[in-house]
Structure 1
Amino acid sequence: MSEVAITLFQGRVADHNNLAIPGAKSVARMLAEQLGVGIAVVGVPAPALSAGWQLELNQAMPGLHALAARLVEVFARSAKPLSATSRCAASLATLPVVARYRPDACVVWFDAHADLNTPSTTGSGYLGGMALSGPAGLWDSGLGAGLALSNVVLVGQRSLDPSEVSLIASGAVTHVAPGPALADRLRAAVGGRAVYMHLDCDVLNPGIVPTDYVHEDGLSLEDLRTACAVLAESEVIGLEIAEFQDAWEEGGEPVSPAQLIAALAPALKALR
């Protein structure tokens, strides 16, 4: 049985509100309880800035470097990382480490967005929209790169910007859109490769769990569970969960991540 190392990232990184930092904590706590392992906490909570990408990155950099160091330590001892992060932009730190230690693995990116914008293509200036493009070397985040675009499998995207549509159309990255036969299309896209899974909760249909962005025509919990079962057919080398907000609105009643974690069960089992 593999050692699973849980990391809780509590730093601020391109937050629009103050709900994802406590959301990540609730996810990590439930995972730790179910798996019977401890939690390593990285980063210090801070109020949301809701600022442009450069300021957000500068402010987040100490926490992101610490997160990268934690992933290095996990991989160096041949453990498997299971991370609960506040926002997708934390992947600027995690994915270059994944690519360094497991260049053979594909990153399966569950998200309503592709997050493949760059400082020169972004329309919003949002750092989270560049979370995957930095590790893929499309711009220099200061946190490293090394992830081959051919090892990126996008799943569930339905809000794409023109530059991202062009990348997909060129065949540089694989896109498994929501819809019929998702499991079969995902299996073909992975092609038996080792898998590192990233989950942005907005890949799900609105109203299932609280998250920052809301886009219709996403995945159901059953779709997610079926997709995780497909990934479990391969070697699952790590998993990160981002963008779970602990309430529907600031000051609201806390929401449990139990149904989300239940849907991830096949992938979590494969980690062990």
Structure 2
Amino acid sequence: MITHFAARAGDHNDRAMQASGMIAAELAARLGSAPVVIGSPEPALCTNWEEELAAARPALRAMAEHFDGLLRDGAFPVTALSRCAVALATLPVVARYRPDAVVVWFDAHADLNTPQSSTTGYLGGLAFSGPLGMWDSGLGQGLKPENAILCGARDIDPGEQPLIDDGVITLVGPGPDLAKRLRSAIAGRPVYVHLDCDVLEPGIVPTDYLVPGGLTLSELRSAALAIGESDLVGLEIGEFEAGEDANGLPVHPGPLLDALQPLLDTAVDLRAVP
């Protein structure tokens, strides 16, 4: 049930590969099962999307194959990712087995660029658009736009904004009544959750991007409680980086997972069902 994607996937640095193991260990402690590890850390390349995807493809294909087995067997995947680009491998499998499910994409960014529209060439900026079939990653697609919900996004590129303005993709932006607005967007449908840690206000956890105006841990927990009212399909957590707090001590993922505990409780409950 717990998967740890340990490899690189468009990394700017090595810190998320280090921290994904911390997330996996904390998940294992809370859920009482050992993680299955996919891939192994390698030095970050910090290059264009095409080279990054080629380098990551063996590990991403292994991840897709692993996810296929999990969902084929009816398992509830809880996953510690390094970078959000791993969703290129996971979401097409989710869409194939659970076409009824919406993907709630918690992220400061929309990640709806394509290779043609991207101004940075960053693989992570293409992570949501690939499963939506906006470009061919070679790892599959199948996620319907009406089943895609951005939550907390606030740094949206010019090429992405029309998809939101035209109602192709639903945005639940940060601000008052976020949980209520998210509940309305989900509309009782099953949910698969992708969490990019930069959806949070900068400084709450270490992450690669710092975008002001993010969610608090309290708001994240309220959102998790709202999601928990629906049939939960799975959870993946990425973009948590190894770092130090103000006292120079390693930052622990415990507070982040405390906020997500309502979703982890669902995982425990599902495992207990005979």
Q: TM-score, normalised by structure 2?
A: 0.95
- Show the counterpart of 2:272: none
- Show the counterpart of 2:167: 171
- Show the counterpart of 1:126: 122
1:77 equivalent in alignment to 2:73? yes
1:29 equivalent in alignment to 2:25? yes
1:184 equivalent in alignment to 2:207? no
**1 CA distance for matches of 2:173 and 2:266?**
24
1:9 equivalent in alignment to 2:13? no
- Show the counterpart of 1:105: 101
- Show the counterpart of 1:212: 208
Q: How many residues align?
A: 266
Q: Secondary structure at the match of 1:136?
A: coil
**C-alpha displacement at 1:76, in angstroms?**
1.2
**C-alpha displacement at 1:108, in angstroms?**
0.1
**2 CA distance for matches of 1:15 and 1:259?**
24
**2 CA distance for matches of 1:153 and 1:270?**
21
Q: Secondary structure at the match of 2:19?
A: helix
- Of residues 120, 126, 136, the one that matches 2:132 is 136
**C-alpha displacement at 1:261, in angstroms?**
0.3
1:149 equivalent in alignment to 2:149? no
Runs of 4+ in 1 over 4 A off after TM superposition: none
Q: TM-score, normalised by structure 1?
A: 0.96
Unaligned runs of 5+ in 1: none
**1 CA distance for matches of 2:154 and 2:249?**
29
**C-alpha displacement at 1:25, in angstroms?**
0.4
**1 CA distance for matches of 2:93 and 2:35?**
19
The 8 Å contact of residues 235 and 270 in structure 1, kept in 2 or not, is answered as no
**1 CA distance for matches of 2:220 and 2:233?**
18
- Show the counterpart of 1:257: 253
- Show the counterpart of 1:160: 156
Question: Which amino acid in structure 2 is aligned with residue 208 of structure 1?
Answer: I
Q: Deviations over 1:149-203 (max 9, x none)?
A: 1100100001000121100011011000000111111011000000000000000
Calculate the aligned-residue CA RMSD, in Å: 1.0
The 8 Å contact of residues 205 and 216 in structure 1, kept in 2 or not, is answered as yes
- Of residues 105, 111, 117, the one that matches 1:115 is 111
**1 CA distance for matches of 2:144 and 2:159?**
17
**1 CA distance for matches of 2:73 and 2:51?**
34
Unaligned runs of 5+ in 2: 270-274
**C-alpha displacement at 1:270, in angstroms?**
2.0
Question: Which amino acid in structure 2 is aligned with residue 143 of structure 1?
Answer: L
